[in-house]
Amino acid sequence: MSPHYLRIFLLCFFVWSGQKPYLAESYSVPKTEWGQPDLQGVWNFSSTVPMQRPSQFGDRQFLTQEEAKNGFLHFELGAGAGIVPPNGTGIESYYNDIRVDNSEVDGRVRTSHIIYPPNGQIPPLVKGIERRPGGVVPATGKRPVRFVVGGIGRDGPEDRGLSERCIVGFNQGPPFTPSLYNNHVQIVQNKDHVVIMTEMIHDARIVKFKDVSPLNASLVFWSGDSVGKWEEDTLVVTTQNFNGLTQSFDGFGSSKNRLLIERFTRVGPHTINYEFIIDDPLTFTDSLTAVIPMSKVSAQLYEYACHEGNYGMENMLRAARRREINSVSDTVAEIFRR
């Protein structure tokens, strides 16, 4: 076994063994008619826990009960712990806080979603890799635009982020990462497949179980190619063959050579423990493992009617052209005023 895959194997074992305490001894995982663990339903993966661990916690994975009670950590997306501070504009953030606080599992609150490396931080980068997260302010750069929010200009649709083009939602993944809203997935099962449908951009990923052979490296997809297997009560999904037009993780690199392993374990009647491992030796010098709880909700997903060529994109480009025309006319007017 090569060192690369040995590392993945050891990390999978580490995550599996490290999460066993979450499973209540008295809880029996329900089964489908095919005898497989039943993961079906709509699940919420919102969270106010930061992805990376604040440095003051070192290698400590959980808050103390006193810290959790006082909302010591909840500062990234919302208030948490019953505290609603003003946001950056001075407006209280009730509107979004009710949709993101899903951080506690089994009475414990994590200091970060990343649990490996042990310091809870993204691994060191391969030389030459820079972070390009996108955002409200246009970034500099060239096409292709791999980040999901923002863009590098408004000359054409290709200058905008992937979620603005309605290609990949900002929390769609894979892997799933909590964001400000629309943090829901629906899982549907049959004997030989699992379908994982995201609320954002309503993307449906089909996970295959039977008669699976590796795809040719030339066949690539936005969400990769997913193959599943059952390890006791855990659904393990291995995804490769990404098209490289998305980032590897958190604004870094390209997904082209990314290997993603996801683990879905039902640990209670209303909770799935979702874990993912990213191994991308062209972006990071080590693997990355994160744990995010999913909570079952009594609701259904409605279509997020976003499609490439949507009217929002058309209006954005039209406004840019109008601004250019006004800029020229204003310049001419100023010459005559002088």
- Strand-pair partners of 268: 271
Query: Does 209 or 96 have the greater pLDDT score?
Result: 209
Quick check: is 276 in a domain? yes
Residue 80 inside a domain? The answer is no
Residue 108 within a domain: no
pLDDT for residue 318 is more than 70: yes
In a domain, 97, yes or no: no
179 touches 209 (CB < 8 A): no
pLDDT for 51 beyond 60: yes
Residue 14 maps to a domain = no
Q: What is the pLDDT of residue 87?
A: 40
CA distances 60 to 47, 63, 192, Å, are 19, 8, 40
Return the minimum-mean-pLDDT range out of 47-51, 153-157, 212-216, 325-329: 325-329
Average pLDDT over every residue of 193-202: 94
Q: For residue 186, is it within any domain? A: yes
3-state SS assignment for residue 243: coil
Instruction: Give, for 275, the enclosing helix (H) or strand (E).
Output: strand 271-279
Span 246-305, pLDDT tens digits? 999 999 999 999 999 999 999 999 999 999 999 999 999 999 999 999 999 998 999 888
Q: How many helices (H) and strands (E) does the chain have?
A: 4, 12
Q: Has residue 227 been placed in a domain?
A: yes
Domain enclosing residue 35, as ranges: 29-47+114-330
Q: Which residue has better confidence, 130 or 139?
A: 130
Confidence band, pLDDT 50/70/90 cuts, at residue 338: low
Q: What are phi and psi of 261, to 5 degrees?
A: -120, 120
CB 191 within 8 A of CB 208: no
The answer, yes or no, to whether the previous bond of 174 is cis (omega within 30 of 0) is yes
Please give the tally of structural domains in the chain.
1
Task: Provide CB contacts within 8 A for 11, sequence distance 6+.
Answer: 116, 277, 279, 287, 289
| Residue 59 counted as domain residue | no
Predicted TM-score of the model (pTM): 0.83
d(CA 36, CA 176): 23
Structure tokens at 92: 């209280």
